[in-house]
Amino acid sequence: DAKTTQPTSMDCAEGRAANLPCNHSTISGNEYVYWYRQIHSQGPQYIIHGLKNNETNEMASLIITEDRKSSTLILPHATLRDTAVYYCIDLIQGAQKLVFGQGTRLTINP
Amino acid sequence: KAGVTQTPRYLIKTRGQQVTLSCSPISGHRSVSWYQQTPGQGLQFLFEYFSETQRNKGNFPGRFSGRQFSNSRSEMNVSTLELGDSALYLCASSLTGLAGYTGELFFGEGSRLTVL
């Protein structure tokens, strides 16, 4: 079973920052936090991952709390194409599989 | 470069039949994993292959099997199909798998199987 919890759905206005929270209260020291998203009728797409430091790439930023029990994915300027289901996953180093939860359905509104 | 290619994209089978799905990973990728996606259970891991060897297997019955060829292409087979096997089957490739620890899997668009 997935060990992360996320809100079922969220809305965000186009052009604004979308902040998607994730709780991973049972995360252990060697587990990373990964984010993937799935746009309708497509396969999941990798977004970003991190261990304890905040991370940023061309798609998003990942903010991890100091106690590592929660994180927030930030899409700085959301567009309609960011409408998707976003999955937060914790992954044990050396594991060979992703355990997906139900994710957050993010809707970007014009 | 070309992405992950899955064939066929759509197929319809009847109960009791078997089906074989194919996945061609990104060139140079040696790890291929398979996932099943259903509305009720979400995305679930089936198995992962690396250099023709199965490295990990999810909690699915033995009717679900797979293999990987020397060119890294992979197939999965489901025998004695049941109605509950109707799903989107997704293949993902990566250079070394998650153990290599980049965390980035590249998914195909999936094969949508309908069992009648």
Average pLDDT over residues A67-89: 95
Least confident interval from A36-45, A92-101, B14-23, B84-93? A92-101
Which of A46, A94, A101 has its CB closest to that of B105? A46
Tell whether B62 lies on the interface with A, counting CB pairs under 8 A. no
CB contact under 8 A, B33 and A97: yes
Q: What angle do CA A96, B10, B58 make, to 5 degrees?
A: 20
* Residues β-bridged to residue B94: B31
Instruction: Name, in order, each residue with C-beta under 8 angstroms of A71's C-beta and a sequence gap of 6 or more.
Output: A21, A22, A24, A33, A50, A62, A63, A64, A65, A88
Question: Quick one: DSSP state of residue A16?
Answer: S
Question: Quick one: DSSP state of residue A8?
Answer: S
So what's the pLDDT on residue B102?
Answer: 61
Q: How far apart are the C-alpha atoms of B37 and B16, rounded to whole Å?
A: 21
Single-letter residue type at B114: T
- A32 contacts in chain B (CB < 8 Å): 101, 103
Q: Given pLDDT bands bounded at 50, 70 and 90, which one contains residue A1? A: low
Q: What is the pLDDT of residues B38-73, one digit of tens each?
A: 988 889 999 999 999 998 899 999 999 999 999 999
Q: Given pLDDT bands bounded at 50, 70 and 90, which one contains residue A101? A: confident
So what's the pLDDT on residue B101?
Answer: 57
Which of A32, A93, A102 has its CB closest to that of B42? A102
Q: How far apart are the C-alpha atoms of A18 and A63, rounded to whole Å?
A: 13
Token couple for A38: 């799935």
Q: Given pLDDT bands bounded at 50, 70 and 90, which one contains residue A93? A: low
Q: Given pLDDT bands bounded at 50, 70 and 90, which one contains residue B23? A: very high
So what's the pLDDT on residue B73?
Answer: 97
DSSP A9-74: EEEEETTSPEEEEEE-TT--TTEEEEEEEE-TTS--EEEEEESSS-EE-SS-EEEE-TTSSEEEEE
Tell whether B55 lies on the interface with A, counting CB pairs under 8 A. yes
